[in-house]
Chains A and B, each alone.
Chain A
Amino acid sequence: MSEQFEPVIIGFTCNWCSYRAADMAGTARIKYPPNVRLVRLMCSGRLDPTFVLKALSNGADGVLITGCHPGECHYLEQNYKALRRYHLLRRTLIGFGIEPERVKLVWASAAEGVQLAKQIAGFVDEIRALGPLAWSMPSKQQLVAEPSVMEEVPA
């Protein structure tokens, strides 16, 4: 069997929901692929887009951003700010010639260990399909521009 490509993924979690979902996946012994390495922040609102660029430039093939469900952020509504930055970030990536699909935003409550594990597994497959991140390569056909209208983001 030929060696399949094993992407390296950095995942950002918030202390209150998604990090606890990861804890919960652990306690419940739910299995997911080992390609994701998590960083804990207090809130998805703490996610500075440069963290994502840093991860990609240091060799990550994809970045998973996670936080509490809309309306459930421990700091009330900071995950909406994360959502806005995420949209902006995806456009920035296109500017760099990187597939925007390499960054993904996922909501997971503290109770959703199973869901988080599923999302991680799905994302690993998606990045595996994209192949290693090649900064020097010209933009591929996957790089369809993001639609210019952003999703409606409730305040």
Chain B
Amino acid sequence: MNPSQDEKERIGVYVCHCGSNIAGVVDVEDVAVWAGDKLADEGVVVSRDYKFMCSSLGQEMIEQDIAEQGLTRVVVAACSPHLHEKTFRGACARAGLNPYLSELVSIREQVSWVHTDKQKATAKAKAMIAGGVERVIEQEALEPLKVPIHPATLVVGGGIAGIQAALEIAESGSLVYLVEREPSIGGHMAQFDKTFPTLDCAACILTPKMVDAGSHPNIELYTWSEVERVDGSVGNFTVTIKKKPRYVNEELCTGCGICVEKCTRNVIDGEFEAGLGYRKAIYTPFPQAVPKYPVLDTENCTYFEKGKCKACQLLCPTGAIDFEQTEQYITVTVGNIILATGFDLFDARRVPQYGYGRLKNVFTSLEFERLSNAAGPTNGEIVLRDGVTKPESVGIIHCVGSRDRNYNNYCSVICCMQSLKFAHLVKERTGATVYNFYIDMRTAYKDYDEFYQHVMEEGTIFVRGRVAEVTDAARRSGEEDKLIIQVEDTLAGRQRRIPVDMVVLSAGLEPRRDAKQVAHTFGISCSANGWFIEKHPKLDPIATMTEGVYIAGCVQGPKDIPSSVAQGAAAAARVISRINKGEIELEPIRATVDAHKCSGCRICNDLCPFNAIVWHEDEMVTEINHALCQGCGTCVAACPAGAISGTGFSNEQVMSQIEGLLMFEQPVDLLAMAV
């Protein structure tokens, strides 16, 4: 409240109906009349209500009033600023008013959508508008901060989504650092044999892309590497990459594979072969790996264990084996970051009644992918754990760990299609009887349902119902030496026991186990489930709340390959447009120290997580570096001298808003009380 002000601001208040979204609960006409009357002393000279303030007519109304009524401040009571703040700021700017001299009061998300009592909702809307009016009086004219965009980009995760994103950007002519933590790029897709619904061979479509990414002059590939640290912000991130030791000198290695061949240690391959095959202690995860350089696994290497062996070093024709190699840290500067770190498979052991890990011939979906893969441990022979016996009957269980309150509530999207793919492969390669146990069949998207119909025609038997148990305890004849699937067939309306030789569990997709940590490193958030949160679920699925950090592929939620590729390309397009523009406009929310007021107490000095606060020993004052400050306001709140002001959220603005919100309540004289 500032009645003594000589020249009062001329404020316009606009109350939006949002169709019936607001008007259905809040008496918007009454609110507008009230504001024009009760807030006139505060400077409100125009107060209107209108059906849709965000429409062009609504915006023109504001523009016209600014021009004709000489408004110096604008308050719009409508939806959340996260939706339309830009819209109304734009209207002000077009009419020549500094856009930061406006305020959007959220009476839809915070009033009409969450309250039912019309009278109370209307009263709350009034209080909120009073708060907005008081605050807007204290608003200052600001200019957006312009930040140049560094043309290089960091892509984290070299699965199909990350590869696609990296290639698109590299093709546009800009530099990409592609960081992958495994020895090779490729991600999950590299493990598959066929891909639904077209059944084209995964390697045939993926390998060329991997090779392109590995050899592109604009892509610097860091495999067996992880991002250790990220500093800075959009336009100018400083990224520290940790390159783990391969014990192979990449400059010298030709990828001939002699070391792998000569290594005497066989190790169960728990990663790429999902535990079904072997690799050596020095290995490339698969023949088409990019890059081709092997990695030495110190945990299983005889030399690291016993201090002697070095067979690989002895036999390497180029002398590339280097047992002295250590971690390397590389620092790069990038303008934008794309996170494409994918998913982890749900651990089927968590559903003990399905017997995985206990019953020999229960397999996970990834194991089945390796089993059916022509380049896999059985050369594509679908056989039981003994490695020879062909199954005569196979049960494929959908939704393992998905759509289940005990594990994950969500649908993993790809499991129905992947289970159908498995049914087809079993039929084609073994002729076995195949049962698919499903809760609902989900085959949305192009050509998916056709694939389902095709698998049905092939003779796969579909049983609708959630499997209760997989057991090897035979109860009747025909069940001996079999796995018995106990299920309530909800279509037939009865319990069934179906004996099979092999069970495949279509385990769901889960966020990476370290998703929270990765999110923290890059300053973005995870949903309750652990998937990275997009800026808008419908309109901006590849951006995050953090400027300059984008997401693509399964990090954002379960999805198939086409959608992962589409997101990779979309994130790349966004980055390319940013690079082309060369700079980005940011909210000018920054903290500033008034050197005359700073007492030099240094209380603020250690508060800033971005190291934006610098201490000048010679002058005994503190200063804030605007390039580093992100505008959180912590130092502003901490300064006992009131020397730090925060634009956009100044003490005056917040205090006035509080006053406005409580304008019609009973105030108390705090100072009088304190004595």
Contact = CB atoms under 8 A, between A and B. Distances in A.
Interface of A: 6, 8, 10, 16-17, 19-20, 22-23, 25-27, 29-34, 37-43, 45-51, 53-60, 68, 71-72, 74-78, 81, 85, 96, 109-112, 117, 135-136
Contacts of B111: 34
A23 B109 contact: yes
A148 B674 CA distance: 23
Cβ-closest 8 pairs across A and B: A59-B665, A26-B109, A46-B633, A45-B634, A75-B632, A57-B670, A43-B632, A48-B637
A53 B525 contact: no
Interface string B102-145: 00001011110111110011011001100100000000000000
Contacts of B128: 37
B523 interface: yes
B528 A112 contact: yes
A110 B546 CA distance: 13
Contacts of A40: 81
Nearest to B119: A34
Given A25-B109, A51-B658, 7 more contacts: A23-B82, A29-B113, A34-B111, A37-B661, A41-B633, A45-B632, A48-B636
A153 B668 CA distance: 34
Contact of B662 (A10, A30, A48, A112): A10
A95 B666 CA distance: 22
B648 to A, nearest CB: 8
Contacts of B634: 43, 45-46, 75, 78, 81
Nearest to B122: A34
A46 to B, nearest CB: 3
6 contacts: A20-B545, A26-B114, A37-B128, A40-B81, A43-B634, A72-B520
B633 A27 contact: no
A110 B532 CA distance: 12
Interface string B579-622: 00000000001000000000000000001011000000000000
Nearest to B82: A23
Given A22-B109, A43-B634, A135 B668 contact: yes
Nearest to B646: A46
Contacts of B131: 37, 39
Contacts of A75: 609-610, 630, 632, 634
A85 B661 CA distance: 23
What is the interface residue range for chain B against chain A?
35 or more
A58 B666 CA distance: 6
A59 B589 contact: no
Contacts of A39: 131, 654, 657-658, 661
Contacts of B113: 25-27, 29
Given A26-B80, A27-B113, A29-B114, A51 B674 contact: no
B134 to A, nearest CB: 11
Interface string B304-343: 0000000000000000000000000000000000000000
A19 B667 CA distance: 26
Contacts of B661: 10, 37, 39
B625 interface: no
Nearest to A38: B110
Interface of B: 80-82, 106, 108-111, 113-117, 120-121, 123-124, 127-128, 131, 516, 520, 523, 525, 527-528, 533, 545-546, 589, 607, 609-610, 630-634, 636-638, 646, 648-649, 651, 654-655, 657-659, 661-662, 665-670, 673-674
A58 B658 contact: yes
A115 to B, nearest CB: 9
A6 B117 CA distance: 13
A51 B110 CA distance: 21
Nearest to A48: B637
B80 A23 contact: yes
B659 A58 contact: yes
Nearest to B528: A111
Contacts of B673: 57, 96, 135-136
A127 B178 CA distance: 54
A8 B528 contact: no
B80 A58 contact: no
Nearest to B527: A111
Nearest to A46: B633
B82 A20 contact: yes
A139 to B, nearest CB: 13
Contact of B637 (A29, A46, A57): A46
Contacts of A76: 523, 609
B545 A54 contact: no
B589 A34 contact: no
